Amino acid sequence: MADNNIKLHLHRDLKLLNAENYKFVFSDSQRFGNHSLTVLVRTNNLDHPRLGLAISKKCAKRAVDRNRIKRLFRESFRLNQHRLPNVDIVAMCKPSILSLDNAEMQRQIETQWRFMRKKFPALSNE
C-alpha cells in the first residue's frame, strides 16, 4: 500500500511541457543509458523531478510501439517520482528497444532511475 504522503499521479507539474524545457535539458545534461535507451538528466531548481519523452519515429516506426514505450516510461516515473532527485529528465530510445518485452523494458528503466539516484544523491527525495 502506498504512503498517503506520496503522490502517485502524473500531474502536469511533473512533465516537461514546452520546447524551452527540452532545450534546457539538451543544452547541458548528463547522459545515462544502455543499448536500448538513453536518458538525459539535468538538475532543476524545483523540489521535484520532471519527465519529458522524445520517442522518435526513427526509433519506433509504428505509433503503437512509440505509445507503448511512452506508457511504460510514464508509469515507471509515476511510481518512482518520490525517490528520484530534483532533475529534469528526457527519455529517448534506440531501435533495439522494440525487441524487449514490457517486463524487460521496465527493468531497464528502473536501472536508469537507480543510476540517477547514485549520481545525484544530495538531490534525492528519499
Given this model, what pLDDT does residue 13 score? 86
Residue 35 in 3-state DSSP? coil
Residues in the chain: 126
On whether the CB atoms of residues 44 and 90 are closer than 8 A, the answer is: no
For the ranges 2-6, 17-21, 40-44, 113-117, the lowest mean pLDDT is seen at: 2-6
Given this model, what pLDDT does residue 4 score? 52
Which of 117, 103, 97 is CA-nearest to residue 32? Answer: 117
Say what the pTM is: 0.85
Sorted by sequence, the CB contacts under 8 Å of residue 109 that are 6+ apart come out as 37, 72, 73, 76, 91
